[in-house]
Structure 1
Amino acid sequence: MKTCNLKLIPALFVLLSGGAFAADEAVTTIGAGVALAPRYSGSDENMVVPMLAVDYTMANGLYASTLRGLGYGGAAGPFSYSAALGYRAPRKEDGKLPFGGKASKYLRGMGDVKGSATANLNLGYAIFDGLNVSVHTAQALSARETGSTYGAGLSGTLVRNEADTVTLSLGFEMADKKYAQAYYGVSAQQALKSGYKVYKPKAGMYQAEVTMSWQRKLDDHWGVTGVLGATSLLRDAANSPLTRRTTSPMAAVYASYTF
């Protein structure tokens, strides 16, 4: 999600739904709240944006979700897996969000980064109950010039009881050369229009993130979740002329109803 850097939102489904890929019957989850995140990756402007989500998961593992896309997920012993068709939102030259707001001057002359359909693949492994590692990738299927990303994460449950679940997650993201250039690079043509110097970042690790969440279960259907975290740009992404702040806060609070 690059119009506003709300990369945390797709991952929130794990908290919002309880994290199960398959159940004895179909499960529908509806969630709403607000989130705080940078306007775009590397921006020093924080934005508060609404969060709305609907997620439907069938007993056989198929799902349709405004967060996860259209896909399938399942588990085999300690392994979990999912594959989905998703969408990476565009980054607009004016930095505006789809629902309005003021423009940003720092992307002026850079042009829009197109939105892209993506193939989202994830594989997880439970080291033991409450500690999981995962790897994932988002492969661009359209607007291939925007590139693809790869990542790995570690998630641990610190508290779990009938009412509360507290989780700490660490993650790293890697970009191919096309993605790095699309979001952190400056071409010769963009340099002429924007005033930035030409910048050609290399493929590799570009971001680290840490997130803590607290989910409070109110009853069999209702729950409230709060999320606090930070993302830090690394290496060539951190040195990009577009990057005005390397470490940015992110936060969210939302209510969910599952039936």
Structure 2
Amino acid sequence: MSSYNKNQSQGNRAIGIRVLLVAFGALSCGSASANHEPESGNSLTLGVVTAVAPKYSGAKKMAFTALPVFDYQMENGLFASTLRGIGYQGDMGNFDYSAALNYRSERKSKDLRDSQDKKGTLKGMGNVKASMVAELGVGYRLTDYLSVNAQTNLPLTEDKNGNAMQIGMDASLLQTNRHHIGWNIATHFADSKYMQTYYGVTSRQSEKTGLKDYKPRAGIYAVSTELSWRYGEADGWSLTTKAGVAQLLRDASKGPLIRRKTEPGAGLMVAYTF
């Protein structure tokens, strides 16, 4: 497989924990160990991944998440993963493409905090329900060290939560038998439903919470960047770390739910590839 396989889910924690976890999933696809090649074309990666990032997009409070890693990649392109979902990936020359069924996490109203940083006062916002999503991605490898890509995140259930998309660039800064250092930068877009769901306040929510009505516009809502380092042993063991930051922009940064516009995040994955 080629180097492109991001498939980054963009749910409630669009630029936080979820993106970090799915980005780790991209690294686990047959490349979790930089210099380990399975005997057959199929590979199975098992491990654990941890991440820390804002509780939800715009939150000041950080949250810690730990998840098991199960990633089965078949030689024919099919895959099943706790991080990437269930789907298919392939390539044609320098072009890459992927499609997956995945999960967008919920946002609980009890986790929202008001302007005084008090918890539990905004329950009138209601919960944003979790949904199944279709993740579609395409990429183009410009050189052995640089690629561009685009991914969409489309809800198959709870379609009122809206659609999201990102366009990004990946650069390989260092590649050896055991070490890989990569850098990514991305611009995030969303439609009006997505913006209203995660950054807006409806009239009914305003009545229940006392917050002002807020109707954010569709379009660019954030930019993000991250740096990753992966160390792989010949026997299949690997260690991957990631650190990044996202900046909310335009209407997404001005909503009454936003407590922080700059969102840091970091994560660690330990895995073994058979």
**Is TM more than 0.5 here?**
yes
Q: Distance in 2 between matches of 1:35 and 1:240?
A: 26
Q: Distance in 2 between matches of 1:68 and 1:107?
A: 32
Q: Within 5 Å, give how 1:197-216 maps onto structure 2.
A: 197-216=212-231
SS at match of 2:196: helix
Q: Within 5 Å, give how 1:128-143 maps onto structure 2.
A: 128-143=143-158
The code of the aligned residue for 2:48 comes to: A
Consecutive aligned runs of 4 or more in structure 1 exceeding 3 Å deviation: 103-107
Task: Output the aligned Cα RMSD.
Answer: 1.9
Q: Within 5 Å, give how 1:9-88 maps onto structure 2.
A: 9-17=21-29, 18=31, 25-88=41-104
Q: Within 5 Å, give how 1:87-166 maps onto structure 2.
A: 87-95=103-111, 104-105=119-120, 107-166=122-181
Shift of 1:16: 2.8
The code of the aligned residue for 2:149 comes to: S
The percentage of counterpart residues that share the same residue type is 38
Count of residues in Structure 1 that have an aligned counterpart in Structure 2: 251
Tell me which residue corresponds to 1:8.
Answer: 20
Question: Is the 2:47–2:69 Cα contact (8 Å) retained in structure 1?
Answer: yes
Question: Cα deviations across residues 5-54 of structure 1 (Å, max 9, x unaligned)?
Answer: 4122112222233289xx85211111213211000000001112213221
Shift of 1:3: 6.3
Shift of 1:108: 2.8
Q: Distance in 1 between matches of 2:78 and 2:166?
A: 23
Shift of 1:141: 1.1
The code of the aligned residue for 2:127 comes to: D
Question: Is the 2:135–2:154 Cα contact (8 Å) retained in structure 1?
Answer: yes
Question: Is the 1:16–1:225 Cα contact (8 Å) retained in structure 2?
Answer: no
Shift of 1:59: 1.1
Q: Distance in 2 between matches of 1:114 and 1:61?
A: 31
SS at match of 2:27: helix
Q: Distance in 2 between matches of 1:142 and 1:35?
A: 26
Question: Is the 2:147–2:169 Cα contact (8 Å) retained in structure 1?
Answer: yes
Question: Is the 2:20–2:242 Cα contact (8 Å) retained in structure 1?
Answer: no
Question: Is the 1:106–1:242 Cα contact (8 Å) retained in structure 2?
Answer: no
* Structure with more relative contact order (C-alpha pairs < 8 Å, separation 6 or more): 2
> Given the superposition, is the C-alpha separation of residues 197 and 245 from structure 1 closer, same or farther in structure 2, using an over 3 Å criterion?
same
Q: Distance in 2 between matches of 1:193 and 1:51?
A: 35
Q: Distance in 2 between matches of 1:163 and 1:64?
A: 26
